[in-house]
A and B are shown apart, each in its own frame.
Chain A
Amino acid sequence: MRQALLALLAKEPAHGYELKQALETIFGIAYPSPNIGQIYVTLGRLEKDGYVRAVDVEQANRPNKKVYYITAAGREALETWVDEPTEGPRVRDEFFMKLVLAPLTGLADRMALVNRQRRHYLSLMRDLAELAELAERTDPANRAALLLIEGAMLHLQADLDWLERCQEELQ
């Protein structure tokens, strides 16, 4: 969330609610609608780190509103984030830990674990497919949202293929 807010503020100064709306517009239904409290908490931390600066703007008949600006340090932090390669596919996988360790404890057998996980992934896949249909219907111009959902589906397909490999190898 930090970098997303910095990126939005690098474009133009904004107050908290505008940032929430911008995130919703950009990521559409692929993105969990950010909680406004969480945005203000993150902005507070960014301010403490010197990455953003808040300016009170007076409003007629309303309490002042805080408009946030990115600082030079914030811009630098954002550039570093953009330039560095992003974390690749995980090597540590919680399910794999269960798969390897659970039989040692006698708590579950591997076949049952793989089967349960497969059904779970398939139900997630169904949910994503429904989300994709919804996005196509309600917000078809938002390619970012559609690509995010498609990406999640491809990852899930890979997870399922890998589950099949686990079942073949560990049976």
Chain B
Amino acid sequence: MSDTPVVRVVNLVKIYQTGGLPVPAVRGVDLTVEAGEFVAVTGPSGSGKSTLIHMIGGLDTRTSGEIWLDGRRADTLSESGWAVLRREQIGFVFQFFNLVGNMTVADNVELPALLGGASPRHARERREYLLGELGLADRADAAPAQLSGGEQQRVALARALANQPRLLLADEPTGNLDSRNTRDVLRLLGRVHRQGQTIVLVTHDARVASMADRVVSLLDGQIVDDGAIPRVRRRPPGGAGDVVELRS
């Protein structure tokens, strides 16, 4: 099972029909993500990166091609089949948090676990653990609107991780955050990745992309590059970086 890829996408195509005109958004993408990998998807706006990740999460239907999640064919699932799969296997984080406004932070995080069939006690323990990890334990009883954008995004991340999903999908998770909040979200992503979480994330932010093991670049709905981000030569011990160079 460990060598079954978490995601395998074969010749995936998405064509939108707007006013009778077919607009291709994704044009034949092949992508495989192994367990534990952190893949960043980048590309200009309109390159199809959001469409791609939405299709992988079943939030958008494919026009043709195959989507396999954890060795199971997913693109042929019905709407309700996808709903079950998402609940059990996929965590999703969006740019605009999408928290349920009339529920507390705690209930927002517990909801997916409860829907997934966890016992109330288990859901509560998981929620307490995640909010603790995110430094939000004291905000459990607050309403989302009382939180800053960065706090809301951390709650959204906790919610996405509540079911210990096989796959975490994120679409511009820091797109709406300032640099301090971005850093907090990045720290958490780094931590869950080190714990083995598989992550596929769409981003414009190079700080976010640079945390990934691998970067996939899209252009006009096609993959133009897919490979590891190399390690730079380490700076000498005791010395410093190459941030500034004073000209002599």
Contact = CB atoms under 8 A, between A and B. Distances in A.
B219 interface: yes
A32 B217 contact: no
B44 A148 contact: no
User: Nearest 8 CB-CB pairs, A to B?
Assistant: A125-B210, A115-B225, A126-B210, A1-B248, A30-B243, A1-B246, A29-B240, A122-B210
Given A42-B248, A119-B215, A157-B206, A29 B230 contact: no
A34 B94 CA distance: 45
Interface stretch (A57-65, A98-106, A160-168): A160-168
A80 interface: no
A171 B230 contact: no
Interface residues of A, number: 44
Contact of B210 (A29, A38, A111, A129): A129
A6 to B, nearest CB: 12
Contacts of B121: none
Contacts of B224: 111, 115, 167
A31 B215 CA distance: 29
Q: Is the interface of A mostly helix, strand, loop or mixed?
A: helix
Given A118-B215, A119-B229, A131 B207 contact: no
A1 B231 CA distance: 29
A149 B204 CA distance: 19
A160 B231 contact: no
Contacts of B207: 125, 129, 153, 157
B245 interface: yes
A119 B230 contact: yes
B210 to A, nearest CB: 4
Given A2-B248, A115-B224, A32 B240 contact: yes
B22 interface: no
B211 interface: yes
B244 A126 contact: no
